[in-house]
Amino acid sequence: MKSTSELTDFYYKELYPSINELEETRKQIISQLKFYGGMGIVAFALAVLWMGKNFGLLHPLMIGIVIGFIAIASITYRFMTNGYAKDFKAKIITPLIHAIDPHLLYNPDFMISQHLFERSDLFKHSIDRYSGNDYVKGSIDGVPLEFSDVHAEYQTKNSKGNSEWHTLFRGLFLVAEFNKHFKAKTVILPDLAEKTFGNLIGGWLQSMNMSRGKVIQLDDPLFEKHFVVYGNDPIEARYILSHSMMKRIVDFQKKISHPLFISFVHNHIHVGIGTGKDLFEPAVFTSLLDYKQAMEYVNTLQNTIGLVEELKLNEKLWSKV
Amino acid sequence: MQIFLIILGVVALIAILIYNSLIGKKNQVENIFAGVDAVLKKRYDLIPNLVASVSQYMEHEKSTLEKVTEYRAQAMKPGISNDQKIALDAKLTSALGAINIAMEAYPDLKANENVMHLQRSLNEIEEQISAARRAYNQAVTDLNNAIEMFPTNIVAGWMNLQRRAVFEITVTERQNVDVNALFNR
């Protein structure tokens, strides 16, 4: 697998013609956006003035006008950047993924199946809306894996009877084959209770979580500080979470600085990285040549695909051939 | 009078809760020990095979191999206590570790498909045993804590619960491998 610096080199050298081309489109889009934005503001001001003269500024119709303008603005923005986003994925992200491994499949419009997401058992709430994009599938060092952006939401009704959408998980979701056989279910979640309430009360709160299995106390204090582990087989949980595995997970958590959700179900490892945003999307208002921007694309890919090496999923135990 | 009854009720309730939690912890220890026992048995089953396959090659390690067979026979005896099993497991682990290291010196052994397969299986079981040991140690620590801490220690005293032993890493496992000694044989 290529290192981060090699990939950054690839981004700036091999992809330079495509980046330049896209950069031109981006500048055009920005000038168009400025033009339409200016027109929109003028039209909005005129509408407000007209309303103020005829009905008064606090008329209920005002809300309609504001919402209408926001809707038109967001549709225009989508429409204008859509082609650019497609080009960006075809010309930048696809070659970048193939530079890591030419056998990886990439589909910008597809996502990891909802079945796999639910199988992970990481999120207990039922899902009412499931979407995603940027699906990658293949095998790294002989370890089959797939990942994509995922946005899972659920709906609630508030006291007025209006429905509200809540995000259950948004970020990168990865499923890979695990190198050990196991039958039970082991779930690792960020340790919010212990961080907020301290060791004693937090620990008690965790054990009170009825929807989960039993809390499994592990013998790595650093790991325990970051995570809480639920499972129905204490021996198997420790078989999976060997000392070295716990250390690797803690190291990975330190590297990514987003909430990390890991579960071991059905001989597979499921990893959710709660970035809270849609990854691999082109930035319209920052240059593609911007180093920070480039590093974000490269690092996200590198960290995700590198997880196989990071967690040593490629080190097959001898019995599992 | 009423206040007295309420206090008595609360104390009785607390005592019952403590009693139940102690029973739960004790059963957890026994439950996990059954798991430990299961993986230990898996290893016992492999040992005769291993000894038979390597003994013709390993002339110098005859005594270690005999020891391994003997420990296995002792551990397989019916009616030995959990503490004895734990002690035997420690000895067996260190003896097997010694064989494992010694095998490096025999190229013929490393070429033997059967022996290599056995060793892989042993390594795998070793991982499982290590996991089971850690699970057991955690359950025992929970129980031991409850037995010694206030106020659970009072109820544990009435119930006559005893502290249990944990698995310890054997001294040979802790020592670094002396590479020099390996070469100078």
Q: Domains of chain B: which residue ranges?
A: 30-183
Q: Select from B32, B36, B40, B124 the residue whose CB has the most chain A CBs within 10 Å, as the one to mutate to test that interface.
A: B124
What type of residue sits at position A99?
A: A
Region A154-167 average pLDDT:
88
Among chain B residues, CA nearest to A243: B131
Region A4-19 average pLDDT:
88
Between the two ends of chain B, the Cα-to-Cα distance in Å is: 83
Contact by Cβ (8 Å): A112, A147: yes
Query: Looking at residue B172, what is its pLDDT?
Result: 47
B125's CB contacts (< 8 A; 6+ apart) are B39, B42, B43, B46
Is the Cβ pair B134, A238 closer than 8 Å? yes
Q: Select from B128, B129, B169 the residue whose CB has the most chain A CBs within 10 Å, as the one to mutate to test that interface.
A: B128
What type of residue sits at position B51?
A: V
- From B32, B36, B128, residue closest to A239, measured CB to CB: B128
Query: Looking at residue A150, what is its pLDDT?
Result: 95
Contact by Cβ (8 Å): A175, A265: no
Provide the 8-state DSSP code for B177. Answer: P
Region A280-308 average pLDDT:
84
Collapsed DSSP state (helix, strand, coil) of residue A271:
strand
Confidence band (pLDDT; 50, 70, 90) for A236? very high
Chain B neighbors of A236, CB-CB under 8 A: 131
Q: ipTM for the complex?
A: 0.77
Give me the half-sphere count of Cα atoms (radius 13 Å) on the Cβ side of residue B107. Answer: 0
What is the distance between the alpha carbons of residues B149 and B161, in angstroms, rounded to a whole number? 13
Is the Cβ pair B131, A319 closer than 8 Å? no
Chain A neighbors of B39, CB-CB under 8 A: 235
pLDDT over threshold 70, residue A307 = yes
When the pLDDT of each residue in chain A is averaged and rounded to a whole number, the result is 87
Provide the 8-state DSSP code for A93. Answer: I
- Distance of alpha carbon B145 from the chain centroid: 20
Measured from the Cβ of residue B157, the count of other Cβ atoms closer than 10 Å reads: 10
Region A220-234 average pLDDT:
92
B107's CB contacts (< 8 A; 6+ apart) are none
Tens of pLDDT, residues B130-155: 899 999 999 999 999 999 998 889 88
Phi, psi angle pair for B2, to nearest 5° = -60, -45
Q: Identify the segments of chain B with pLDDT beneath 70.
A: 169-185
Is the Cβ pair B138, A235 closer than 8 Å? no
Q: Select from A180, A236, A318 the residue whose CB has the most chain B CBs within 10 Å, as the one to mutate to test that interface.
A: A318
What is the distance between the alpha carbons of residues A93 and A304, in angstroms, rounded to a whole number? 14
What is the distance between the alpha carbons of residues B21 and A260, in angstroms, rounded to a whole number? 32
Among chain B residues, CA nearest to A218: B138
The CATH number for B30-183, chosen from 1.20.1440.20, 1.10.490.10, 1.20.140.10, 2.60.40.10, is 1.20.1440.20
Report yes or no: B137 at the A interface, CB cutoff 8 Å. Answer: yes
